[in-house]
Amino acid sequence: MRVVVQRVSEAAVEVDGEVVGQIGQGLLVLTGFCGGDDQAALEWMSQKLLGLRLFEDDQEKMNLSVQDVAGELLLVPQFTLYGDCRKGRRPSFTGAMQPDQASMLFDRFCELFSAADLPLQRGVFGAHMKVSLVNDGPVTVIIDTP
């Protein structure tokens, strides 16, 4: 499992001209799955994201998590995170999980955040989405499951 996390002051995802998810201050999480990902990977990643200290405290140090600042989450499925560009000029996506399996994992991943009591929005799996954001910092990190 791989995520690209961006600290944002606002973000939105649009499908067919309609906004399907929108947040203020929080984290935009682009999410990709590969073969071998399972419930344990989802749980590990959700806990990592909830505790990740990407927000500044009073001394302008990144010491606060999204929970600490009562932020919001926007989760967006993105299989292209597993695009392999080492050969040729067109990415190969053979490392990405098959869509039917990945869709189920994305749903489960989103459900894991319900206990955190944070506002959660999400993109639409398999849809052509337009994602807009204001990256705050900029702060962007990439996390792979162990």
List the structure tokens of 67.
């929970």
Q: Is 93 labeled as catalytic in the residue annotation?
A: no
Out of 78, 113, 121, 145, which one is annotated catalytic? 78
Q: Is 140 labeled as catalytic in the residue annotation?
A: no
Cis peptide before 138 (omega within 30 of 0): yes
Out of 80, 94, 98, 101, which one is annotated catalytic? 80
Q: Is 101 labeled as catalytic in the residue annotation?
A: no
List the structure tokens of 1.
């499992």
Out of 6, 31, 55, 79, which one is annotated catalytic? 79
Residues classed as catalytic: 78-80
